[in-house]
A and B are shown apart, each in its own frame.
Chain A
Amino acid sequence: MKAGKFWAWIVFILGAAYFFIPLIATIEFSLRMRRGVYSFDAYKVVLGDSQFQTTFMYSVIVAVFTILLGVLIVVPTAYWIRLRLPQLRPVVEFITLLPLVIPAIVIVFGYIRMYGSNSPLPFLSNNTATNALLVIGYAALALPYMYRAVDTGLRTIDVRTLTEAAQILGAGWGTIVTRVILPNVLIAVLSGAFLTFAIVIGEFTMASLLNRPAFGPYLQNLVANRAYEPAALSIIAFVITWGCMSLIQVLSRFAPKSANRPN
Chain B
Amino acid sequence: MAEPFLSIQHVRKSFGATTVVEDFNLDVEPGEFVSFLGPSGCGKTTVLRMVAGFEEPSAGKIVVAGKDITRLKPNQRNVGMVFQAYALFPNLTVAQNIGFGLRVAGMPRADIDARVAEMLDMIKLPQMADHYPYQLSGGQQQRIALARAIAPKPKLLLLDEPLSALDAKVRVSLREEIRSIQKKLGITTIFVTHDQEEALSISDRIAVMYGGKAEQVGTPFEIYNRPATKFVANFVGTLNVLEGKVTDAASGTVQVNTQEVSLKGKLNGSKSGDMLSLALRPEAISLGRQPGRDSSLSGEISEVHFLGSVIRVRVGIGGNTVSLDTFNSPATPPPAVGEKAEISFSSSDMLVLH
CB-based contact B104/A256 at 8 Å: no
Interface residues of A in 241-263 (CB under 8 A from B): 256-263
CB-based contact B83/A161 at 8 Å: yes
CB-based contact A171/B134 at 8 Å: no
CB-based contact A172/B133 at 8 Å: no
Main secondary structure on chain B at its contact with chain A? loop
Residue in chain B with minimal CB distance to A172: B75
Task: Assign chain A's interface to a size class.
Answer: 20 to 34
Q: Is B52 an interface residue (CB 8 A)?
A: yes
CB-based contact A165/B87 at 8 Å: yes
CB-based contact A168/B134 at 8 Å: no
Among candidates A166, A168, A170, A258, residue contacting B90 with C-beta atoms closer than 8 Å = A258
CB-based contact B89/A180 at 8 Å: yes
- B residues less than 8 Å from A3 (CB atoms): none
Q: Is B81 an interface residue (CB 8 A)?
A: yes
Q: Is B74 an interface residue (CB 8 A)?
A: yes
Chain B 13-25, CB within 8 Å of chain A: the 1/0 string?
A: 0000000000000
Among candidates B79, B89, B133, residue contacting A168 with C-beta atoms closer than 8 Å = B79
- A residues less than 8 Å from B132 (CB atoms): 256-257, 259
Residue in B74, B89, B134, B149 whose Cβ sees the most chain A Cβ within 10 Å: B89
Among candidates A169, A180, A256, residue contacting B101 with C-beta atoms closer than 8 Å = A169
Question: Taking A165-B81, A170-B101 as contacts, is the C-beta distance between A157 and B90 under 8 angstroms?
Answer: yes
- A residues less than 8 Å from B258 (CB atoms): none
CB-based contact A167/B166 at 8 Å: no
Mark the stretch among B136-144, B263-271, B344-352 that contacts chain A: B136-144
Q: Is B173 an interface residue (CB 8 A)?
A: no
- B residues less than 8 Å from A157 (CB atoms): 90
CB-based contact A184/B83 at 8 Å: no
CB-based contact B91/A166 at 8 Å: no
Residue in chain A with minimal CB distance to B73: A167
Q: In whole angstroms, how far apart are the Cα atoms of A172 and B104 in the complex?
A: 9
CB-based contact A162/B87 at 8 Å: yes
CB-based contact B90/A165 at 8 Å: no
Question: Taking A161-B85, A184-B91, A259-B88 as contacts, is the C-beta distance between A168 and B138 under 8 angstroms?
Answer: no
Question: Taking A166-B100, A169-B152 as contacts, is the C-beta distance between A260 and B86 under 8 angstroms?
Answer: yes
13 contacts between A and B (CB under 8 A): A158-B87, A161-B87, A165-B89, A166-B100, A167-B73, A170-B101, A171-B75, A172-B75, A256-B90, A258-B134, A259-B86, A261-B134, A262-B138
A interface with B by C-beta (< 8 Å):
157-158, 161-162, 164-172, 175, 180, 183-184, 256-263
B interface with A by C-beta (< 8 Å):
52-54, 73-75, 77-81, 83, 85-91, 100-101, 104-105, 132-134, 136-139, 141, 148-149, 152, 165-167
